[in-house]
Amino acid sequence: MDITARAWIVADHDTGEVLGERNPHVRLAPASTLKMLFADTLLGKFARTERHTVRGAELATVPEGSSLVGIKAGVTYSVEDLWHGVFLRSGNDAVRVLAAMNGGIDRSVAEMRAKAADLQAVDTYVVSPDGYDHPRQYSSAYDLTLMARSGLRNADFRAYCGTRTARIGGTGIENTNRLLCGSHGVKPYAGMIGVKNGYTSNAGNTFTGAATRDGRTLIVTVLHPKSGLNAVYEESRTLLDWGFAQGSSAKSLGTLAEPLSEGGAKVTHNSPHGSAGSAGSAGTAVDDDSMGWGLPVGGAVAAALLGGVYALRNRRTKKADPGADAAKSASPEES
Residues that are catalytic: 32, 35, 90
Of 310, 306, 298, the C-alpha closest to 138 is 298
H-assigned helices in the chain: 35-42, 56-59, 79-89, 92-101, 105-119, 141-152, 155-161, 178-181, 231-246, 298-314
For 240, the 3-state DSSP assignment is helix
Give 183: exposed, middle or buried? Use CB within 10 Å, 0-12, 13-18, 19+: middle
Peptide bond preceding 195: is omega within 30 degrees of 0, i.e. cis? Answer: yes
Sign of CA dihedral 48, 50, 51, 55: negative
**Would you say 133 and 293 are in contact if contact means Cβ atoms under 8 Å apart?**
yes
**What is the amino acid identity at position 193?**
I
For helices 79-89 and 35-42, what crossing angle results, to 10°? Answer: 160
**Would you say 317 and 251 are in contact if contact means Cβ atoms under 8 Å apart?**
yes
Exposure string over 312-321, b if 16+ CB within 10 A, otherwise e: eeeeeeeebb
**What is the amino acid identity at position 66?**
S
**What is the Cα–Cα distance from 94 to 135, expressed in whole angstroms?**
23
